[in-house]
Structure 1
Amino acid sequence: MDTRPEPFEPPAPEPRVGIPSRLQIIRTVFRNPLELWGEPSYTLPWIETKFINQRTLIVNDPGLIRHVLVENAANYEMASVRQLILRPILRDGLLTAEGEVWKRSRKAMAPVFTPRHAKGFAGQMHRVCEEFIRRYERAGSGPLVTNVAVDMTELTFEILAETLFSGEIAVEKQGFAGNVEELLHRMGRVDPMDLLVAPPWVPRLTRIGGKKVLNRFRGIVSETMAQRRRRMAEEPERVPNDFLTLLLQLEGPEGLSTTEIEDNILTFIGAGHETTARALAWTLYCIANTPAYREMMEREVDEVMASGEDPVDWLDRMPHVLAAFEEALRLYPPAPSINRAAIEEDEWTSPAGEYVRIEKGITVLIMPWTLHRHLLYWQKPRAFMPERFLPENREKINRFQYLPFGAGPRVCIGATFALQEAVIALGVLMHRFRFDLTEATHPWPVQRLTTQPRGGLPMKVSVRVG
Structure 2
Amino acid sequence: MDMSPEPFMPPAPIPRNVPPSRLEIIRTILRNPLELWGEPSYTLPWIQTRFFRESTLIVNDPGLIKHVLVDNAANYRMSDIRQLVLRPILRDGLLTAEGPVWKRSRKALAPVFTPRHARGFAGQMLSQSEQYAVKYENVGSEGVVFDISTDMTELTFAILAETLFSGEIVTASGHFADDVNQLLHRMGRVDPMDLMRAPSWVPRVTRIGGQKVLDKFRGIVRDTMNLRLDKMKKDRAAAPDDFLTLLLEQAGPEGLTMEEIEDNILTFIGAGHETTARALAWCLYCVANVPRVRVEMEEEIDRVLATGAEPVEWLDLMPHVRAAFEETMRLYPPAPSINRAAIAVDRWTSPSGENVDIPAGVTVLIMPWTLHRHALYWEKPRAFMPERFLPENRARINRFQFLPFGAGPRVCIGATFALQEAVIALAVLMHRFRFDVTANTNPWPVQKLTTQPQGGLPMLVSSRR
**Is 1:444 aligned with 2:447?**
no
Report the Cα distance in structure 1 between the residues aligned to 2:400 and 2:142, rounded to whole angstroms. 45
User: Could you give the per-residue CA deviations for residues 11-36 of structure 1, whole angstroms, max 9, x where no partner exists?
Assistant: 00000121111100000011000000
CA distance in 1, matches of 2:426, 2:114: 22
Distance in 2 (alpha carbons) for counterparts of 1:52 and 1:316: 47
Please state whether the residue corresponding to 2:57 is helix, strand or coil: strand
Q: What is the TM-score with the length of structure 2 in the denominator?
A: 0.99
In the TM superposition, what whole-angstrom CA distance separates every residue of 1:150-202 from its partner, at most 9, and x where no partner exists?
A: 00000000000000000000001222111101100110111111111111111
How far 1:449 moved relative to its partner? 0.3
Q: Could you give the per-residue CA deviations for residues 130-168 of structure 1, whole angstroms, max 9, x where no partner exists? A: 000000011026311000000000000000000000000
1:51: Cα distance to partner? 2.1
In structure 2, distance between residues paired with 1:456 and 1:48: 36
CA distance in 2, matches of 1:419, 1:58: 28
| Alignment map for 1:124-143 (pairs within 5 Å) | 124-140=124-140, 142-143=142-143
Q: What residue in structure 1 maps to residue 403 of structure 2?
A: 403
> Is 1:75 the counterpart of 2:75 in the alignment?
yes
* 1:377 matches 2:377: yes
Match of 2:102 in 1: 102
Deviation at 1:363, TM superposition (A): 0.2
CA contact (8 A) 2:52 2:195 kept: no
Worse-superposed segment, 138-147 or 211-220? 138-147
Residue 401 of structure 2 aligns to a residue whose secondary structure is: coil
Q: Name 1:301's counterpart in structure 2.
A: 301
CA distance in 2, matches of 1:43, 1:354: 17
What per-residue deviation string (whole Å, max 9, x for no partner) do you get for residues 88-126 of structure 1?
000000000000000000001001000000000000000
Instruction: Name the amino acid aligned to 1:116.
Output: R
Distance 1:180 1:47 in 2: 35
1:163 aligned residue: 163
1:248-287 residue pairs with structure 2 within 5 A?
248-287=248-287
Q: What's the CA shift string for 1:294-333, capped at 9, x where partnerless?
A: 0000000000110000000000000000000000000000
Q: Is the 8 A contact 2:346 2:359 kept in 1?
A: yes
Distance 2:24 2:346 in 1: 32
Q: 2:172 & 2:415 partners in 1: Cα distance?
A: 26
1:226 maps to amino acid: N
Q: What is the identity, as a one-letter code, of the residue corresponding to 1:145? A: V
Distance 1:198 1:45 in 2: 31
Secondary structure class of the residue paired with 1:139:
coil
> 1:5 maps to what in 2?
5
Whether the aligned pair in 1 keeps the contact of 2:94 and 2:102 (CA below 8 Å) is yes
Per-residue displacement from partner, 1:415-439 (whole Å, max 9, x unpaired)?
Answer: 0000000000000000000000011
SS of the residue aligned with 2:393? Answer: helix
Structure 1 residue aligned with 2:428:
428
Deviation at 1:275, TM superposition (A): 0.2
CA positional deviation for 1:4: 6.1
Aligned to 2:30: 30
- 1:121-270 matches, within 5 Å, as 121-140=121-140, 142-270=142-270
- Contiguous gaps of at least 5 residues in structure 1: none
SS in 1 for 2:145: strand
Cα 1:4–1:223 change in 2 (3 A) is: farther
- Cα distance in 1 for partners of 2:52, 2:71 equals 30
Report if aligned partners of 2:188, 2:448 keep a CA contact under 8 Å in 1. yes
Distance 1:214 1:238, change over 3 A: same
Cα distance in structure 1, aligned partners of 2:18 and 2:142: 49
Q: 1: CA distance between counterparts of 2:293 and 2:121? A: 28
Question: What letter matches 1:56 in structure 2?
Answer: T
Contact 2:141–2:464 under 8 Å retained in 1: no
The correspondence of residues 49-60 of structure 1 with structure 2, limited to 5 A, is 49-60=49-60
The Cα shift of 1:52 comes to 2.7
Residue type of the alignment partner of 1:377: Y
Please give the secondary structure, in 2, of the residue aligned with 1:376: coil
Identity %: 73
Q: Which residue of 1 aligns with 2:290?
A: 290
> Paired residue for 2:89?
89
**Per-residue CA shift, 1:329-348, capped at 9, x if unaligned?**
00000000000000000000
For 2:89, the aligned partner's letter is: I
Q: Tell me the TM-score normalized by structure 1.
A: 0.99
1-structure distance, mates of 2:277, 2:400:
24
The 1-side partners of 2:174 and 2:122 are apart by 22
Which stretch of structure 1 is more off in the superposition, 6-15 or 175-184?
A: 175-184
Distance 2:423 2:315 in 1: 6
CA distance in 2, matches of 1:432, 1:271: 28
Aligned partners of 2:430, 2:21: CA distance in 1, in Å? Answer: 47
| Paired residues, number | 463
| Counterpart AA for 1:217 | F
| Corresponding residue of 1:459 | 459
Counterpart residue identity of residue 292, structure 2: A
Looking at structure 1, the residues matched to 448 and 50 of structure 2 have their Cα atoms a distance apart, in angstroms, of: 23
Task: Specify the alignment match of 1:348 in structure 2.
Answer: 348
Letter of the structure 1 residue corresponding to residue 24 of structure 2: Q
Q: Deviations over 1:253-307 (max 9, x none)?
A: 1100000000000000000000000000000000000001100000000001100
Q: Which residue identity lines up with residue 180 of structure 1 in the other structure?
A: V
- Give the AA of the match of 1:367: M
1:235 is displaced (CA, Å) by 2.3
Cα distance in 2 for partners of 1:245, 1:207 equals 33
The separation in 2 between residues aligned to 1:444 and 1:234, in whole angstroms, is 51
| Residue-by-residue CA offset, 1:227-257 (whole Å, 9 max, x unaligned) | 0001001122211000000000011111000
SS at 2:137's partner residue?
helix
RMSD of the TM alignment (CA)? 0.8
